[in-house]
């Protein structure tokens, strides 16, 4: 079941201008219209010619979701796509015995549910909100019509599907060809810091994933991940302060991957 809270229209007398961002619970900044989105030009799918963006705005329903909300479930009939405007969503698959593998953590700008919506098959993954998120929904029929009418949009969809494929292959290579759980965790941390970290010589990154979620990403148990973090800390490779990951010895991490 999908849980969300809809955007509430501004009250009369509001001091916000027509293009000002709106604030929702959790301090989330709401993007009310694709046309005025300040991030549009930086995102593959949304960076469209003016006519395409205006058309996109007419078929999009904006909603915000709290942490833990579910956008769609593996095996559910595809209802449409969700454009991730802000926040993060984890995409996962589960086995009959309850084991879960997180395929990836989606970042703002991605279109979620894209393969199933295009092919008409059930969603192949489950999408769960990791942090307060805005995800704008487009029904399947409207989305397919939008693709048929706009060749540029179809090209952007093909590009994202290609990027998703390459990311999946890289993930399978990392998990399948790693020789140990330590190597898998080291690879994950290096890739995570490359996209989320900053600072030199120490790398700092906000790590909001739990040890269990990291284990689901690399195919290891929570206990194994916790033990490896303790080992890496003892070897002075990294430390964790609150939600901040500090990598003080990048070369030490790289040595665990054989690079």
Max CA separation in the chain (angstroms): 62
Q: CATH number of the domain at 135, please.
A: 2.60.120.10
Q: What are phi and psi of 146, to 5 degrees?
A: -60, -40
Q: Give 1's pLDDT tier (boundaries 50, 70, 90).
A: very low
- Indicate the residue among 175, 193, 226 that finishes a domain: 175
* CA neighbours closer than 13 Å in the CB half-sphere of residue 7: 21
Closest CA to 31 of 107, 84, 89: 84
The whole domain housing 85 covers 5-175
Q: Which of 21-35, 157-171, 227-241 is predicted least confidently?
A: 21-35
Judge contact between 78 and 121, C-beta under 8 A.
yes
The span from the CA of 235 to the CA of 255, in Å, is: 13
Q: Which of 24-38, 48-62, 75-89, 160-174 has the highest mean pLDDT?
A: 75-89
- Sign for the CA dihedral angle at 208, 213, 215, 218 comes to negative
Mind listing the pLDDT tens digit for each residue in 57-116?
899 998 889 999 999 999 999 999 999 998 999 999 988 877 888 888 888 889 999 999
**Residue 53 binned pLDDT confidence (cut-offs 50, 70, 90):** confident
Average pLDDT, the chain: 82
Q: Structural domain tally of the chain?
A: 2
Q: What angle do CA 103, 121, 33 make, to 5 degrees?
A: 75
Label residue 15 by pLDDT band (50, 70, 90): very low
Q: Which of 175, 197, 231 is the last residue of a domain?
A: 175
Are residues 146 and 239 located together in one domain of the fold? no
- Edge-first strand listing for the sheet containing 203-206: 203-206, 244-247, 238-241
Q: What sign has the CA pseudo-torsion 98, 99, 105, 109? A: negative
Q: CB-hemisphere CA count at 13 Å for 145?
A: 9
Q: Is the pTM of this model over 0.75?
A: no
Same domain, yes or no: 133 and 229: no
Q: What is the CATH number of the domain that holds 195?
A: 1.10.10.10
């Amino acid at each position: 079941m999908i849980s969300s809270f809809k955007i509430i229209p501004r009250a009369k007398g509001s001091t916000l201008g027509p293009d000002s961002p709106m604030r929702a619970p959790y301090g989330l900044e709401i993007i009310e219209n694709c046309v005025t989105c300040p991030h549009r030009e930086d995102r593959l799918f949304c960076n469209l010619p003016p006519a395409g963006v205006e058309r996109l705005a007419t078929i999009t329903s904006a909603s915000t979701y709290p942490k833990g909300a579910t956008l769609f479930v593996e095996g559910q009939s595809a209802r449409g796509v969700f454009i991730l405007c802000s926040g993060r969503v984890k995409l996962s698959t589960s086995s009959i015995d309850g084991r879960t593998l997180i395929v990836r953590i989606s970042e703002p700008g991605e279109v979620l549910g894209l393969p199933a919506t295009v092919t008409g098959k059930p969603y192949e993954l489950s999408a769960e909100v990791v942090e307060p998120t805005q995800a704008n929904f487009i029904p399947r029929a409207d989305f397919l019509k939008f693709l048929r009418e706009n060749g540029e949009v179809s090209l952007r969809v093909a590009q994202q599907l290609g990027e998703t494929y390459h990311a999946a292959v890289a993930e399978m290579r990392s998990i399948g060809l790693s020789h140990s759980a330590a190597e898998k965790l080291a690879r994950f941390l290096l890739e995570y810091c490359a996209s989320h970290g900053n600072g030199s010589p120490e790398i700092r990154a906000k790590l909001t994933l739990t040890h269990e979620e990291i284990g689901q990403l690399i195919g290891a148990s929570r206990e194994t991940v916790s033990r490896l973090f303790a080992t890496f800390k003892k070897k002075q490779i990294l430390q964790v302060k609150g939600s901040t990951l500090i990598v003080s010895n990048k070369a030490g991490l790289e040595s665990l991957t054989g690079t």
